[in-house]
Structure 1
């Protein structure tokens, strides 16, 4: 569409919501890609970056758009990317290669198979029972082709695929197009209610905690995948030198913002006579990599250490207290917006 700019699929819906979307807007701002209009539903503009073009859309559609190169880059969940790739393959016989180039460590959900509480616990046993009692296996899902692929893999595992190889993907409770096989009813939510009330044999649900599934007195019979938000491309983009260069710039800065989350730098001063004890403490508690940053002075030395507050075995409060006990003064804690060790963090 645009030969000069990097066209980025900007996900509408929960990802655009500052309170629900894992702070995607803040992440972009920290990376240096401040947006205008995105938080209000679009059109999205990148305020200070003239070579990025925002294409507002639904993550459900981005896989197809990447496939036809309508988009160069898309920010989406792995589940919806896989759904579109499977639809193109299973329904249209078209293979599309989509590559995740950067996970964003947010928006994690589980895609699970669900069944009534009286169903067998083992998913293969559930499918065996259905094959023995049904001509049509009915499944409800917001992701019908992911559901179809899952069902076909389970049927192959129990040796019944040939008996149930015919399939139909259709809207909920429309007349079946096949006499025997797998019917996938595409729904717009409340999958649990349809399974609970006998509207389908089994279902596929998107969940974080599983609480809604339990509330409906259903059980999880299989975990199909764990999905999180990431940055996706059509690999053919790498063959375009100009856009590949823009992509690396975009990814490197996004990586820096993701890597900086929950990290702080602590600056503090220590009298020179207390330095040996301080260095021992920092080393023993793994509070620096190769060595701490040290600026020696006449009577005091300034040090700085980087701390990941989510991963370190000591809490930030405990670290600051231990520094003070060892005669550190002027202890300042600064949040980090971006942390890039080198360009080698990119995998291409």
Structure 2
């Protein structure tokens, strides 16, 4: 039913890991194969292509559904339907930022310090030209094919580049002076395919699996028993996503408590729960949380 295109390159491994955890494992003959399969009745074809190409291919109807960043949708000015954001990137759950950066030694602290004729190197020429036009600056924008940060100061006066944390840009001796775009990874659809009720329903089901898997990351299910006298003390310790589920045990022998909590801090939470009177504490992994 759905022809799916997935990103190759920096998002490739994290995307494959996400699909595997969502029970949508991607199978291909080798790591360099651009064709793949997913054993799911909703997906008939899978390709792995460069993320910057994906919006255009989706808009042209070569694929029904794909994953790429909002940065490439804006750069290619593609008309697509967003099924939803997927909060993951190459190494973190943070969005990437498309930023304007200059040499740390330049003395420049804002875009208004840049003058007409400024040389700007970037992999995002469309976004960059629009940004400088909006700011009333006539910039000479040059397309970069990589190693963009290294082009300051001999080849360029400024760069427009992506970052998750800013560390690599700072390590190159550059200063970020503005954020042009904040970009999440998105599940995107061809507009005509999204107008097909059957295909749209399948797309939303796939998004449910992927987003539910992301929601479950870093969380665990806690189950425990506690006496009536200690119930409130235990409840006060639990940083649950919502109100914990509390059920009375048979024979009025106390209560069973069940809740979802962040895995971070579980090493101190469990001993505190035991000290407060909890017994039979179980920590269980979660694969999906569907809201």
**TM-score relative to the length of structure 1:** 0.74
Match of 1:7 among 3, 24, 45: 3
Counterparts of 1:288 and 1:202, CA distance in 2: 44
Asked if 1:46 is matched to 2:41, the reply is: no
Q: Could you tell me how far 1:64 is from its partner in structure 2?
A: 0.5
Q: Map 1:1-348 onto structure 2 (within 5 A).
A: 5-17=1-13, 21=14, 24-37=15-28, 40-42=31-33, 43-47=35-39, 49-52=40-43, 53-85=45-77, 96-107=78-89, 108-116=95-103, 117-126=105-114, 130-131=115-116, 134=117, 137-155=118-136, 164=138, 182-196=139-153, 198-270=154-226, 274-283=227-236, 285-287=238-240, 289-294=242-247, 296-298=249-251, 299=253, 301-309=255-263, 315-341=265-291
Given that 2:66 and 2:189 are in contact with CA atoms closer than 8 Å, whether structure 1 keeps it comes out as yes
Counterparts of 1:11 and 1:308, CA distance in 2: 29
Counterparts of 1:45 and 1:147, CA distance in 2: 37
Cα 1:285–1:51 change in 2 (3 A) is closer
Q: Could you tell me how far 1:300 is from its partner in structure 2?
A: 5.0
Deviations 1:243-287 (A, max 9, x none): 1121121111112111111121112223xxx22422443156453
Q: RMSD across aligned C-alpha pairs, in angstroms? A: 2.3
Q: If each structure's helix is expressed as a fraction of its own residues, which one has the higher value?
A: 1
Q: Could you tell me how far 1:7 is from its partner in structure 2?
A: 1.5
Cα 1:140–1:291 change in 2 (3 A) is closer
Q: Could you tell me how far 1:11 is from its partner in structure 2?
A: 0.9
Given that 2:59 and 2:191 are in contact with CA atoms closer than 8 Å, whether structure 1 keeps it comes out as no
Counterparts of 1:248 and 1:193, CA distance in 2: 42
Cα 1:215–1:269 change in 2 (3 A) is closer
SS of aligned partner of 1:249? helix
Given that 1:30 and 1:337 are in contact with CA atoms closer than 8 Å, whether structure 2 keeps it comes out as yes
Higher radius of gyration, 1 or 2: 1
Deviations 1:53-112 (A, max 9, x none): 212211110110121121211111221222111xxxxxxxxxx42233222211132211
Partner residue in 1 for 2:92: none
Counterparts of 1:217 and 1:252, CA distance in 2: 42
Counterparts of 1:215 and 1:223, CA distance in 2: 18
Given that 1:12 and 1:41 are in contact with CA atoms closer than 8 Å, whether structure 2 keeps it comes out as no
SS of aligned partner of 2:129? helix
Cα 1:33–1:295 change in 2 (3 A) is farther
Counterparts of 2:246 and 2:155, CA distance in 1: 64
SS of aligned partner of 1:205? strand
Gaps of 5+ in 2: 90-94
Gaps of 5+ in 1: 86-95, 165-181, 342-348
Cα 1:8–1:268 change in 2 (3 A) is same
**TM-score relative to the length of structure 2:** 0.87
Deviations 1:141-188 (A, max 9, x none): 112212112121111xxxx6xxx4xxxxxxxxxxxxxxxxx4321111
Given that 1:16 and 1:39 are in contact with CA atoms closer than 8 Å, whether structure 2 keeps it comes out as no
